[in-house]
Amino acid sequence: MKKQRATLLSTTQAWISLEIILLFFLEIVYVIIFWRYESAKDQATMEAVIATARNVSVCILPTIVGIVGMFEIGGEIMIRFTRLMQDAIAEGIAQGIAQGKAEGKAEGKVEGKVEVYRAWHADWERRRQAAAEKGIPFDEPPPPKPEGITED
């Protein structure tokens, strides 16, 4: 599901409130710092207010651009990294499933060979026993073990 985007520089709506709060906080801190600086000078209060307002109004736009840019660039990096991780996880899962299927098929083939060999060997043993009981010579060789089988 795609998140709704606000019109302000294509910022996600979830970040807008955080960006505005951060902007207000930084501006208040800046006003306090600059007001203390201007108030320490030997000048009238109105001159300090005008200087503070002039200086703060100049810094608002760069602060907005910095905050929104920080959130957008940081957010984009996080989104791309998350997608990269999700793709890597999905690829690993797909490889694991493919490997499991291949191993399962190979194991199934070996188990099938073992069952066929056991049945074939049991039939050969039954015929050898019957021939021994009747006293008939039995010169048929035992069935060969298939490749990949280690047990009897």
Digit-by-digit pLDDT tens for the chain (152 residues) are 556 555 544 556 667 777 778 888 888 888 888 777 777 777 677 777 787 788 877 888 888 888 877 877 777 788 888 889 999 999 988 888 888 887 777 666 666 677 777 777 788 888 888 888 888 888 878 877 776 666 54
Residue 70 tokens, joined: 């920080």
**Contact 11/72 with Cβ under 8 angstroms?**
yes
- Kindly provide the b/e burial profile for residues 23-41, where b requires at least 16 CB atoms within 10 angstroms of the residue's own CB: beebeeebeeebbeebeee
Residue 85's pLDDT is: 92
Residue 13's pLDDT is: 66
**Contact 71/18 with Cβ under 8 angstroms?**
yes
Residue 152 tokens, joined: 């009897």
Question: How far is it, in rounded angstroms, from Cα 68 to Cα 62?
Answer: 10
Question: How far is it, in rounded angstroms, from Cα 63 to Cα 32?
Answer: 16
Distances from the Cα of 127 to the Cα of 3, 9, 26, angstroms: 75, 87, 95
**Contact 114/92 with Cβ under 8 angstroms?**
no
pTM over 0.75: no
Distances from the Cα of 123 to the Cα of 119, 135, 143, angstroms: 6, 18, 10
